[in-house]
Amino acid sequence: DGGITQSPKYLFRKEGQNVTLSCEQNLNHDAMYWYRQDPGQGLRLIYYSQIVNDFQKGDIAEGYSVSREKKESFPLTVTSAQKNPTAFYLCASSRRTDTQYFGPGTRLTVL
Amino acid sequence: GQQVMQIPQYQHVQEGEDFTTYCNSSTTLSNIQWYKQRPGGHPVFLIQLVKSGEVKKQKRLTFQFGEAKKNSSLHITATQTTDVGTYFCAGPRGSSNTGKLIFGQGTTLQVKP
């Protein structure tokens, strides 16, 4: 069964804590992306990676970090430096044709 | 910087009425893509348009790409409650083929039964 998985679905974090969101794909896609979505808003790009061991900042990278050690995996860490981390986080992957396939998302709430 | 704008932001229609959302880019796009996000769900790819003036249909959905490749529209004929959700348009960022997309803010459709 091919696709993109994200875990966990819901995540609660205390202020000052770092938290890592998982994103795995078995579509053999080279490119992977992390987006943030706030209520009633569009998708804002946090980080993207076009190839293993390489990634670039998107529009709102401050307070976030990523790694791309394997083609299948692109975890996102939300650090304590992120001022307003409560949001819906979406991971996506694509081939070079630009069409992106999204995971089910992780809803992060900071308590 | 490059921008993609969508109007309207929200639309409430009675079931059976038609619906249209418009997408306008500040730059010429090599292609335009449309995604649908159901409430509580994630965006799902609907279609990609590549050619100037292209029109594609998926059942009750009609997608158009403008002649100048800077605007697009999605028209739904005779809406149903299953059409509820947010519709996003997206185009490639910049001129290089990085795979990155820039998304519009989306149009949220509510359908009253």
Q: Is B40 left (phi over 0), alpha (psi -120 to 50) or beta?
A: left
- Band (pLDDT 50/70/90 cuts) for residue A2 is low
Inter-chain residue contact A99 with B92, CB threshold 8 Å: no
CA distance B65 to A14: 46
**DSSP states along B29-98:** -S-EEEEEE-TTS-EEEEEEE-STT-EEEETTEEEEE-TTSSEEEEEESS--GGG-EEEEEEEESSSS--
Nearest to B92 among A42, A95, A98 (CB): A98
Contact with chain B for residue A84, Cβ under 8 A: no
pLDDT for residue B64: 98
Q: What mean pLDDT value characterizes chain A?
A: 93
Nearest to B48 among A42, A50, A99 (CB): A99
Beta bridge partners of A20: A77
- Which tens digits make up the pLDDT trace of A3-15? 999 999 999 999 8
- Which tens digits make up the pLDDT trace of A15-48? 889 999 999 999 999 999 999 999 878 899 999 9
- Band (pLDDT 50/70/90 cuts) for residue A80 is confident
Contact with chain A for residue B107, Cβ under 8 A: no
**Do A24 and A73 meet the contact criterion of CB atoms below 8 Å apart?**
yes
pLDDT tens for chain B, 113 residues: list them: 899 999 999 999 999 999 999 999 999 999 999 999 999 999 999 999 999 999 999 999 999 999 999 999 999 999 999 999 999 999 998 766 678 899 999 999 999 99
**Do B37 and B86 meet the contact criterion of CB atoms below 8 Å apart?**
yes
Q: Could you tell me which chain A residue has the CA closest to the CA of B99?
A: A98
Contact with chain B for residue A98, Cβ under 8 A: yes
Gap from A53 CA to chain B (nearest CA, Å)? 16
pLDDT for residue B83: 98
Q: Which of A25, A46, A99 to probe by mutation at the B interface, max B CB count within 10 Å?
A: A99
Q: Could you tell me which chain B residue has the CA closest to the CA of A94?
A: B99
Strands B107-112 and B10-14: parallel
